[in-house]
Structure 1
Amino acid sequence: MQAKAKKIIFIAILLTGCIITSLISTNDKEKTLPVSSLPQSAQSAVISKAAQAKTVRVQVSGAVLEPGIYDVHASCRVEEAIAAAGGMTENADSERVNLVRKVRDGMQIRVPVKKAARTSRTQRKSAQATAGYSASSTKKVGSTRAGAEKNNSAVQIVRINSAGVSELQQLPGIGPALAQRIVDTRSRGRFASVEDLLRVPGIGKAKLAKLRDYVEVD
């Protein structure tokens, strides 16, 4: 009778151990459950959370309040990146920017100025240059140095990060082709200083020295 009782107790202990082992195995499987085996809604939530945690670095320039480099969510749109830079200025041409385009790492987002504003500014500076030249031409030149100073005063300062091709051609020694190369180089990264003009094919140290007094970085 005693032997039978021991046998029953042994069987009970064995069954209990099997049940505990089975429960532990089930929990381990649940912990390591792959995303692909989750319901569709759960998969979307996991993927969305992972995407939000990732950021990319973009450069926002042009007609915005605070141009610069920003880290934004990888899933955000151009509109959100511009908002991070303080938003557009009053003369920004939003119609020429794809605001719903998704950003990517290393992307440069440039907001252009309205064509009417650019044209008005160019015409105003051109009129000022013409008026200055006409006024200086009516005066007698006392010496070569004095004449040079008067010519310099008639030339307007050009902002190399926002000037158009026609405006750049007002600079000494800059023709249509070289002006276009300045714009093309600027589109790949704005000029941080006047010395950055050396990045433009066709502009060397000698030409930069001639341009230095007539240009500025905006």
Structure 2
Amino acid sequence: MNAKYKKIIFLLLLLAGCAATSLLSSDKEELAPAASFSSAGVQSAGGQRSGKAQGKTIRVQVSGAVLEPGIYDLPADSRAEAAIAAAGGLTEKADAERVNMVRKLRDGMLLQVPALKAGGGKKAAQRVTGAAGASGRKAAAGSISNASGKNAADKRDGSAGRVRINSASASELQSLPGVGPALAQRIIAERSRRRFASAEDLLRVSGIGKAKLEKMRAYVEVD
């Protein structure tokens, strides 16, 4: 009888060991997918946060010497030139030399564009000189003959008084509505990178928005 009981006890222990081994194996298989799912969830959440960060915008107020003062929503990494362009660009009275176009914007900030001081100063004198020179060229183009007027109208259309934006000098560009010395230099810099194929290409220039372009359109010519 003792030998028989020993065999029974041995078989029971063997069965218990097999059952325990099976249960442990099953637990590992269930934990592995759960861990994988958790990792995937973390990665997905991280991707969503990254996408939200990339699509973030800021709200800034633009005031002062711009054509369309107001509040504008811009990409989070925008700089002052983008806000000024959104506000229609600088007016004729804007003191462009005192505006830091590459200043980085932040949410809730006020970007105020200063105007030229009363009395004109050096910048106003330059503007008046440029305008006077343009008026003198128009008068000369209207009075000289076609033969002698060819050189004088090299950069301008004498009959319509238009400015050829791909070849005009800085002073000639300043005869356009809303174009001062700083904006004229930016127009020249932009056309040196890529010529203007149409008047709409002037929108590539920082400080020229749709409103300013409409004022300039009747006076520009693409050559």
Q: Which has the higher contact order (CA 8 A, sep 6+)?
A: 2
Which interval holds the TM-score relative to the shorter structure?
0.3 to 0.5
TM-score if structure 2 supplies the norm length? 0.39
Structure number with greater Rg is: 2
TM-score if structure 1 supplies the norm length? 0.39
